[in-house]
Structure formats: C-alpha cells, structure tokens
Chains A and B, each alone.
Chain A
Amino acid sequence: MRRLIDTLNRIPRVLLFAAAGLIQVALIVVIVIDRLRVLREGSEVRLQTRPVDPRDFLRGDYVVLNYEISSVAAAGLKDQPVPGKHASVYVRLAPNAEGFHSAVSVHAEPVAVTAPDVLIRGRVLYGANCGGDVRLFCDRLQLNYGIEKYFVPEGEGRQIEQPRRDGKVTIVAAVTPAGRAAIKRLLIDGKPVYDEPLF
C-alpha cells in the first residue's frame, strides 16, 4: 500500500483526477454494454405478465411486472438445504401451446438445456425458510428474475393498468446462456408498445 501511495505521489495530480473520473465513467459504460450484450446475444422468450404501476420517488412511473413463472413449484428442490434466504436458482423454461414460455423445472445449479428451452436465473424472494433449525426450500418458490420493473414515461403507467387487468400484457425478454435476462419488448394485445433500443 505504501509503495502504491509513493507511486501515485510521483504522478501529476491532474492525471490522477482524470483517471478517477475516467474509471467511474468507464464503470457506468460497462453496465450499459453488459446489458447490450444480454439483449443482443440472449434467446428471446415470451412471458405472460400481471403489472401494477406504483410511483417511485424521483424516478417517474414504472410498472411492476409479475410473471406466471414468478411463482413456481419447487418439486425436486423441496426440503433441500438453502444456501441463503434469497438464494439463486435456475428455472428451465419451455414454450407452451399458447406460445409463452412457462416453467418446467427448478434447479439449484445451472443445467444444460437445448433450444427452444432456456434456463433463466432467479433469486428466491419467498419459499426458502421452511424447516426448523436448518433452512430448507418450501414446496412453492416466489422468484425475482431482475426483469420485474419496467420504467415508462411519466403518466403512461396507468395506461397499462387496464390491459393488465384483462391479461393482455406480455413481454419479450432476452435470456443469455448464463441465465441473465433483460426486457426487450413490452406488448399489449400482442402489439409492441415499448421496444427497447440498444442504446
């Protein structure tokens, strides 16, 4: 550490300030590029949603999206030990007769899948607190996939409320082989309403 500080003391201060700013800018750019990679490389899945539209202070309107795959049967994971209250699990999705992807099985570790099936990573919200002294998976799991919020321009959140009640809102998400997901499109009655640009 002392050597690092001595080395830094030999560099002109203005360059150190520039480096600090550039590193923070680079970190933000990396986040956006990472999301771009998910959208570009991920397999597309269609998911049935049930949104609501609360207000979020200073951040405009967003719709909260609940999916049919948000609540899944633990099946083979039931009564297995949980590494943490909000542990990560992997859900295998397969297209159903209506053209939506639905949950087929849940796994504690990634498993190999072949197209058109995809594997999506979720975090357990509820259902990891069964058992006594040892925390075990319950029979049903409530999961969060990181695609539960979709920000829309102020005032437009309520326009999605009615179609939500009618079950007409669906989304298209991109899912990478590692299970990471990002929203690509939001559709009402099968027609794209919001299409995510890459930038």
Chain B
Amino acid sequence: MSERDYRKRLEADLARWEADGLIAASAGAAIRATLRPVPEGVTIATVVQIAGGLLIAAAFLAFVAANWSEIPRPTRFGILLAGIASAYVLGAWFDRSARPYLADLAVAVGSIVFGAAIALTGQMYHLGDDFAGGMLLLAAGSLITAVLTGSRGALAVALVTACIWNGMRVFEMSDVHLPFVAFWLICAGLAVMWNARVARHLVALAAIVWCVHSAIGIEEDHVANPSFAFVAAVAFLLGSGLALASRGSESIRAFGLTLSNYAAYALAISLAWVVAGIFGLGSRELPTAIIVLGIAGAALALCASAIGRRLGPALVALAIALALIVVSGEITTSRLDDPWLMYALALASMLCLVISGMLDGERSRVVAGWIGLAAVIAGVTWAAQGSLLRRSAFLAAAGLAAVALASLLGRVLPKERN
C-alpha cells in the first residue's frame, strides 16, 4: 500500500472511530500529529514538464545527429561531456528547488547520456568492440551516481546495463558469471538503505535475470542439469528472502519479502516448464555445489520458520525440496509411460507454495503458487509423452486427493471467525 493510500485509509478510519466514540477527538488529533507530511507526488504539471523536457532533448539529439559527422572530433567529444554535465546541473537545480522526481529523472537521463557518450566515443576513436566492457562501464558509472545522488532512475540504468553485461559475459564464457553477484550485492545494500519499493523490485528482478543467464551458461557448458541449477538458485533466493524477512529492520524485512516473492514466481514458472517439457533437463550431472545451493535454500526457509515460529516458511522449504526432486531428473520412468511421480510431486510443491502464502498472508506467493499449479496442470495435460486417457485418470486422482486433503484440513484447522 502506498503512503498516500495508507493516509487516506487512516483518515477514514480515524473519522469513523471518532464518530463511533471509540476514540476521543484529541486522540485522533494526536495520531495525526505523529504523521510526517506526505511527500509531494507526481502532479499533472510535473508529467507535462517531463514530457516537454523529453521532447526538447529528443529534438536536440536529432539536430546533433544530423550534423554529427561534420562536427570536428574534439568538439563532438566536448558536446558529449557537456551533455553529461548539463544533466547533472539540471538535476542539482531541481533537487535544490525541492522537485525530487525531476531531479531523479535528470540524473537518470544523465546516466543514459553517459551510456550514449561511451558508444559514440567508441565510434569516434575506433575503440575495440568490447560491448560487454562498455556496458560494465555504464553500469559502474550509473551505480556510483545512484549512491551519490540517491537516484532510483540511475539505479535502474545500472541494473539493466549490468544484466546486459552479465548476459554477454555468460555468452562469451559459456559459464556462470560471478562478478555480477558483487555488483548485485552493492545494489541490494542500496535498496535496503533507501528502503525504496522500486529499488527492491529492480534488485529482486535482476537476481532472477542472473539465475536465467547462469542456467543458460550452464546449459552451454554442459557441466550440469541447467533446470536443476536454475531451480536451486531461485530456491536459494526464496529461502534467503524468507530468512531476511523474518528478522532485522523493516527495510531488510521488506527487501527479503520482495526477493522471496520474485523467487517464488520464478520457481513456479520454471517447475511448470520442466513438467511441460519446455525446459529439457539437459545434462544429468548434479554438481555438489548446486545441490548444496538448493538445500541451503530449503534450510534457510526452515530457519525463517523457526525464527518467526510460523508454518508458512516450513511449507516453502517443503515446496523447494519437492521442486528440486522434480527437476533433478532422478525420477525415471519407461520411455512410453508418463512420469506420474514427477507430476504428483510438482503439484504438491505448488500446493505447498499456495498454502504457505495463505498462512503468511502473502498474496504474491499465493498468486505464484496458483500460477504454478495452473501451469503444471496445463503442462501435464499437454505433455507430448504417454496417453491422454491415463493423464485424465491421473488428474482426476490428483483432484480427489486435493479434495480429501481439504476436507481433512477443514476438520483439523480452527474455523475462521468474523
């Protein structure tokens, strides 16, 4: 819930409680007095200002591009440096005049101009075409800017370009690219320090992108089962996120929760894809380091369960364990038969995710689990292997088992009271 929505809801509640006589008017006033002023949002005038600024910048860029090759090289170089400097001068001016959104935008534009300057300097001076190296330079420059100015836009530029850098290095090396992790940890630290929602989401998304790239690198290198490696990596993120969410400051908890939610989505989707046969298991190798990573994810989820004395994270640990078994490729079946056990474990894993989300009151995890359940059922239905009649029987049996489980839970668990 955004700060503005919270304030609206609080104001409505306070007015109702005062009218109902639940609290005195002085108590309501005291609660209102404890609230900080709501930060100024993006107004229509600001949006129009932003659009105008972008149009002028585009016009200037088109004008320079039209005459670019006629301009002497040192002048071109000077224009690029001046472009970067002007963006920051503008940013400082907006910041000074208490317009943080515009200041952030100016810094983000400065980082983008910095990226364009890297590319154009490369062209002007015939530099080697190390595209990934250029991306790293842009990512590092933008990250430094984000640290100095607190710009969320610059952090976004840094993370996007760092992901491209990582992807290109993975393509070059056909292996997992670990230097990205160091970069990501700095970004994660920044997201925690700022306690900013957009930063948390960007950092969590970048972690998933790294897992995807790493799985591709492993696939290219033929050193391990890439599906297992991906699931183990997102399982580790899921477990770590839950562990962070169970202890520490509010910003660490919020970061952990966001990370765990993105990892839950990634786990659900990847598991469904494996069941549907879209992701092959590739090499059957399961290196110890990757197995340990997956187990660590489950163990961290159990730790979160123990710390918070909640059942939800324990069910996540179970979901992780079942998912790891499914993607391990260790469940063997005859070539003509369906992998019934794999289907059953995949469904159970996603059911655990849904229930854990419900127990923790975490809607994103519930949605992730439902998406996983739906996708696994679709995967089982449309899998190319085996007979459709048998799959129909399996789905009916799975459905009956779920209804029986629901009935049992309805008897065991206490009824909700309104």
A: which residues have CB within 8 A of B?
A: 1-2, 4-5, 8, 13-14, 16-21, 23-25, 27-29, 31-32, 35, 58-60, 62, 83-86, 123, 133, 135, 144-151, 153-154, 181-183, 196-197, 199
> With an 8 A cutoff between CB atoms, is B95 at the interface?
yes
Q: Is there contact, CB below 8 Å, between B123 and A147?
A: no
Closest B residue to A197 by CB, please name it.
Answer: B73
Q: Is there contact, CB below 8 Å, between B222 and A133?
A: yes
Q: Give min CB distance, B78 to chain A, whole Å.
A: 11
Q: Is there contact, CB below 8 Å, between A18 and B92?
A: yes
- Once bound together, how far apart are the Cα atoms of A62 and B120, in whole Å? 13
Q: Assuming A24-B84, A31-B127, A123-B172, what are 11 further A-B pairs, CB within 8 angstroms? A: A2-B193, A16-B149, A17-B91, A21-B84, A24-B117, A28-B117, A31-B125, A84-B172, A85-B220, A133-B222, A135-B221
Q: Is there contact, CB below 8 Å, between A27 and B141?
A: yes
> Which residues of chain B are near A1, meaning CB under 8 Å?
189-190, 192-193
Q: Is there contact, CB below 8 Å, between B137 and A27?
A: yes
> Which residues of chain B are near A181, meaning CB under 8 Å?
128
Q: Is there contact, CB below 8 Å, between A25 and B84?
A: yes
Q: Is there contact, CB below 8 Å, between B193 and A14?
A: no
- Once bound together, how far apart are the Cα atoms of A25 and B221, in whole Å? 39
Which residues from 115 to 154 on chain B have a C-beta closer than 8 Å to any C-beta of chain A?
117-130, 137, 140-141, 144-145, 147-149, 154
- Once bound together, how far apart are the Cα atoms of A84 and B120, in whole Å? 29
> Which residues of chain A are near B124, meaning CB under 8 Å?
151
- Once bound together, how far apart are the Cα atoms of A197 and B85, in whole Å? 25
- Once bound together, how far apart are the Cα atoms of A135 and B110, in whole Å? 43
Known: A14-B96, A28-B118, A86-B172. A147 touches B141 (CB 8 A): no
> Which residues of chain B are near A20, meaning CB under 8 Å?
88, 107, 110, 144-145, 148-149, 154
Known: A86-B172, A146-B129, A182-B126. A16 touches B117 (CB 8 A): no
> Which residues of chain B are near A182, meaning CB under 8 Å?
126-128
* Choice from B80, B91, B130, B171 contacting A28 with Cβ under 8 Å: B80
Q: Is there contact, CB below 8 Å, between A84 and B107?
A: no
> Which residues of chain A are near B145, meaning CB under 8 Å?
20, 23-24
13 A-B interface contacts by CB (under 8 A):
A1-B189, A13-B95, A13-B149, A14-B95, A21-B88, A24-B110, A25-B81, A32-B125, A84-B175, A123-B172, A148-B129, A150-B126, A154-B69
- Once bound together, how far apart are the Cα atoms of A60 and B147, in whole Å? 36
* Choice from A16, A31, A84, A150 contacting B121 with Cβ under 8 Å: A31
Number of residues on chain B facing chain A (CB within 8 A): 56
> With an 8 A cutoff between CB atoms, is B87 at the interface?
yes
> Which residues of chain B are near A199, meaning CB under 8 Å?
73-74, 77
Q: Give min CB distance, B244 to chain A, whole Å.
A: 15
Q: Give min CB distance, B86 to chain A, whole Å.
A: 9
Enumerate the 5 nearest inter-chain pairs by beta-carbon distance, A residue then B residue, closest first.
Answer: A146-B128, A21-B88, A17-B92, A84-B173, A86-B172
> With an 8 A cutoff between CB atoms, is B174 at the interface?
yes
Known: A14-B92, A28-B114, A86-B172. A8 touches B128 (CB 8 A): no
Q: Is there contact, CB below 8 Å, between B148 and A8?
A: yes
Q: Is there contact, CB below 8 Å, between B85 and A8?
A: no
> With an 8 A cutoff between CB atoms, is B306 at the interface?
no
> Which residues of chain B are near A84, meaning CB under 8 Å?
172-175
Q: Is there contact, CB below 8 Å, between A4 and B147?
A: yes
Q: Is there contact, CB below 8 Å, between A149 and B73?
A: no
> With an 8 A cutoff between CB atoms, is B307 at the interface?
no
